[in-house]
Each structure stands twice: as structure tokens, then as C-alpha cells.
Structure 1
């Protein structure tokens, strides 16, 4: 597949999103996909191998939250191959994204992406989440790969400031997971998500710690 065909498919797919994406960002997203596909053959970044699946189930599944997230500093925990952090960093060059993963082969890939695309708004951390101690706390923790909401809130509470939030990207609405989290966390909002080309349930759950009265 030529770059022109890939970019044409990307442009068509992104038109159905509710967030405007420039031609320069389409080009950057295309370069990211090319690197992802190349490295995936050796590093097993994803079990999804076909281009359409990667575009829909990874790229669009990441970008669908773009109109919803608020803040300037985010950390993508368990980012894997950079999802959703890299696509969001491309679309929001004025916001900062830290991408954290404990797997060295995945962060090596992310360093290559950062260098190739000159993503000055991206920081990469190869460590376990409990050992990461940021100098400046984040506005939000975002993740589409965390095991449960309890793991997310228990393991990442030290990363956000007092008004920070958790942006949890999920499939079906996680009623059972919500029943397991600490009582001082509340659902500030939840959004059903429609990923273009994907006939599966998706939602974004926004959690925030209640302040003591």
C-alpha cells in the first residue's frame, strides 16, 4: 500500500470524527501507522495485523475521545504502542502527554515515533506506574488498557493533583468495576462513544476524587 492510499483512507475515516483534524495531522497519523505496522511484525505491539483493523480499533478508537478530554497535562498509563497517547498528542500539539509502559520494547518503539514525528509535547517513561513520581502532577490519567477501574484509581492516584480526573476508556459501561472502587471516588460524567466503522460498545467514564467536606 502506498502512502497516498494510506493517507486517503485515514482522511476518509477521520472525517467521520467529531473533532477537526488538519492535513498535517493526517500525515503525522499516517507516519505513525506506518511505523506501528512495521514494528508490530517484530515487537508484537498488537494482535491486530490488518490495516483496517488497526485504523478502526486502535487509531479511531483513540481519537473518538478527542472532543471530550479537558486539561493540559495527561499521562497515558499502560500505553503499549502509544494508544491513545500518540494520536491525541498529534491532534493536540499544545497539550502535554506522558506515555508510560513497563515494557522496554514498547517504549523503544515510542522513542522512535517521538523522534520521527518531532513530538516535543510527548514524554516517555519506561517504568511501573507506582514508581513514577512526576515533578508536576497531571490534570488527568487516561487509559484504554488498564485491567479495572480499581487498579486505575489505586495505582495512579499519586499522579494527579487534587482537581485531577481519571479518563477511563471502556467497552460496555463498567457497572461491576464501579462497585469495587473506593467510595471517595465518584463518576463525574460518562459518555457513550461511537467509533466510526466499529459495531461494538465503547464508553468514556470520568472519575474524580470527592473532596472532604
Structure 2
């Protein structure tokens, strides 16, 4: 079993490899989140990843890999599960208001406990289907949540006119691109390199058609 010191070293190496600068105390809060997730996971099966070191790489560092692309003052993380990537992004940028959305009750109970125990004053969690969420957000994130078409059909109403949608994918989603609904356009597809994580990682950046803010 990895010690907290080992996990901190792994996390700090990952953050450095991504070229990120996080606020004071962020590493400690990220590790507190990972510890809470591991504790709850033993009972509630919130994630298939059990090994703490793997959690650091595949959950924390993987989530932080998209931080340079996040913009705006408000963010909604759809199908967040146990808070990925929403909680790591909220810890990394505490000035941004973050809404975590999931339809699974046990996952939302965990999210609310994480928000309370980690004192994440910029984060709210709601148990809801995506299509029933109200409001609009400058940035929307979704990690292995659904096809691009389904994501946008269900949640497209949540994106501000100049906002961006960041869809985290494994392999290049070439076959999904024709399904992007009218009114939206793919701005970019970035290949992500995540330290200690094998396999392909891609980030699809989507905006409203005709609006070029946030490219």
C-alpha cells in the first residue's frame, strides 16, 4: 500500500509534468479527496479503480490535464460520478463556481460529503438527469459520459453563447464527429499526455456554431 508521502510524490510529479501551478494547499486537498474516495469506495463501489496510486494518476492527474483549457467563472461537470473531473478542477481553481451533476444517489451523497469535509465552498452537487438541469455555464466538462451527440442533445442548453464544452475521451472520437448536433461545432481535438496513464487520451473542444470566443 502506498504511503501518503508516496502518493504526494506521485501527484506532484504529475502536476509538474503537466506544467501546472496549483494554489497553496491544493495538493493536500487533492490527497484528502483521494483518501475520502478510497474510504467510501470500499463500501459504495464508486469507481472500479482501487489502488491509491492508480487513483492519483487515473483520477486526479487525468482530471487536471484539462485545466489549461477550462475557462470562465462557472463550470458544470455532467455525469460527474464521484466528482471527476469536477472536484480536482474546483480545488485547482477555487475562484470558479462548479456544479457537479449526477443521477446516481449514492454518488451524490459522496459528493456532498466531499464538499463538506474538504470545505469546497465553490462547489455544489445536484442529483438530476442532465436534461433537467437549469442554468447556463461558461464551461461544461464531461468525462467518459456519453457520445458527443447524446451529451449535446441532453445538455447543450446549459452552455452559454460564448461558452466551451470540454469532452474527455479515450481514443480519437472520429466516428462521433458527424453526430454533433446542428448549432454546435468542434473547435479542436487535443491529444493529452497524462503521466503514468497508458492508452489514448483526447479532449474535444466544442462551442456554439458561429461564436468564436473561447477557441
**TM-score over 0.5 (shorter chain):** yes
Q: TM-score range by the shorter chain?
A: over 0.9
Q: Aligned residue for 1:145?
A: 144
Contact kept? 2:7, 2:53, Cα under 8 Å = no
CA RMSD of aligned residues (A): 1.5
Q: Per-residue deviation at 1:198?
A: 1.5
Secondary structure of 1:179's match? helix
Gap regions ≥5 residues in structure 2: none
2:119 alignment partner in structure 1: 118
Q: Quick check: 1:79–1:145 contact (8 Å CA) kept in 2? A: no
Contact 2:18 2:65 in 1 (8 A): yes
Partner of 2:190: 191
Is the CA contact 2:11–2:57 (under 8 Å) kept in the aligned structure 1?
A: no
Q: Distance in 1 between matches of 2:183 and 2:23?
A: 40
Tell me if structure 2 keeps the 8 A contact 1:18–1:64: no
1:101 and 1:144 mapped to 2: Cα distance? 12
Calculate the TM-score normalised by the size of structure 1: 0.93
Where do 1:1-213 residues align within 5 Å? 1-134=2-135, 137-211=136-210
SS at match of 2:163: strand
Count of residues in correspondence between the two structures: 210
Residue 139 of structure 2 aligns to a residue in which SS? strand
TM-score relative to the length of structure 2: 0.92
- Measure the CA separation in 1 of the matches of 2:23 and 2:158: 31
- C-alpha displacement at 1:45, in angstroms? 0.8
